Amino acid sequence: MSDSGNLYIEEIAKEPGLLIRSCKIKINGNVAITPTKTIGVKSSDTTEVKIVEDQIDNNFRPFGEVYAKISLSELSEYIKNDEKGQKFTSQLAYKLSQLNQIGALPYILLSIVDENGNPVNRLLSKPVQKFLFDVLWGTPGNKIITTPLIGTLSTPDEYAKMINAFRERQLAAIDRKNLPIMAIVPPSYSLIDPNLLKKYWQAGVRIYGYNCENKKYGAFGYVIESIHNELSKFSKQDEEMYIINALNSKYKIGKTKTSRVNDLIGTGFGFDTYSPNHIPTKFIPPVKMKHYLFDREDYGFIEVNEIENVKNAEKILNSNILKNVDLSQLSEYPEDKVKKICKTHDFETNITEISQYCKLIKKEKLFHYLSSKEKIRNETHEISEFRHGHQINLDGWFT
């Protein structure tokens, strides 16, 4: 159990010998239950918010993420021009309020890039750092202070400098806004220095973010093992809990008939929450896109054009968005409408699945449940190898 005044973490249940667990997280009176999905909100699309609003209860309490990708030149403009700076922070505050209203536990995630849209890969200047601090601590509704995504720094010492700066600002603001810090763990295995994680821990960090960079969880098995190994030592020593949030988690993996869900199984790889993916697709899509619907029966996906060949399709593809849709005619709908229907169905069924996980973990049956899903048997095998401490098989990690 962890209770540091503004942050309370309690492990509700755990499956023996595995990283699968459920935690209750309370931040200044706001509660989230893990495993959970982080809800991303967009000003132009409130579909996710509306779906989640009807599903939040004692079984499903999500995090909420307000993501903003900003270039250094834009930050310079915000610093110099009050009108532009106020407009930027007002947009963040509005999105935070949407998430707060539905009962999510929201935070701001800033991605700082150069003029070409690439991560800056260096520490930020003092003026930029101060502005970001003012945004993070000063925007109403922000519940967690998250270190920004800035790419990969050169040494662990640079990450230590960043967390020290955040800790100093946290201490300066603690009487006004006692907010916990979510620190981004370096993406590179070579940079995950035990001394750095110790500095994170000593700075009071109990929420950790790991950038999955739109890759499958199994690709980071050895990294997650290293992180858990070090943090578990501190946790046992101080009798305080921690959680890990998978940032930029990949939604699905595989191709065509082998495609299967990825983000839902994050708990098996040691992630307590998983968040939206903000990394754009690098390939050029074909003129006629294929669209897929998540299949809760096997954790795979059904291509819209193949629905007529699926037995009991109406039972398998059971969601509110599809109740009034003739599945046999779905492929004939306009492209934009098919895309929206698939996205809404996938999101809704994703939430339906993960909302069951806490109950299953309490009964020590989540791993058994996941193992029954035909399409993710390779992934559940990887999860089980965590239990026995064997070297994870590298085959197929990056598919």
- Element of type H or E holding 21: strand 21-27
Please give the single-letter amino acid code of residue 354. I
Three-state SS at 152: coil
In angstroms, the CA 284 to CA 338 distance is 19
In angstroms, the CA 69 to CA 80 distance is 19
Token pair, residue 398, equals 């990056």
Ordered by start, the domain boundaries in the chain are: 2-274, 292-388
Q: What is the pLDDT of residues 329-349, one digit of tens each?
A: 999 999 999 999 999 999 999
- Non-local (6+) Cβ contacts of 141 within 8 A are 93, 96, 97, 99, 100, 106
Listed residue (157, 133, 162) closest to 145, CA to CA: 133
| pLDDT values of the chain reduced to their tens digit, one per residue, 399 residues | 555 558 999 999 999 999 999 999 999 888 999 999 999 987 666 778 888 888 887 778 899 999 999 999 999 999 999 999 999 999 999 999 999 999 999 999 999 999 999 999 999 999 999 999 999 999 999 999 999 999 999 999 999 999 999 999 999 998 888 999 999 998 888 888 899 999 999 999 999 999 999 999 988 888 888 899 999 999 999 999 999 999 999 999 998 788 999 999 999 999 999 999 998 777 666 567 889 999 999 999 999 999 988 888 888 888 999 998 999 899 999 999 999 999 999 999 999 999 999 999 999 999 999 999 999 999 999 998 865 443 444 444 344
- Non-local (6+) Cβ contacts of 302 within 8 A are 292, 293, 295, 310, 313, 316, 317
Q: What is the pLDDT of residues 241-263, one digit of tens each?
A: 999 999 999 999 998 788 999 99
Q: Quick one: fold of 2-274?
A: TIM Barrel (3.20.20)
Listed residue (205, 241, 239) closest to 10, CA to CA: 241
Q: What is the CA radius of gyration of the chain?
A: 21
Please give the single-letter amino acid code of residue 239. E
Token pair, residue 154, equals 């050169």
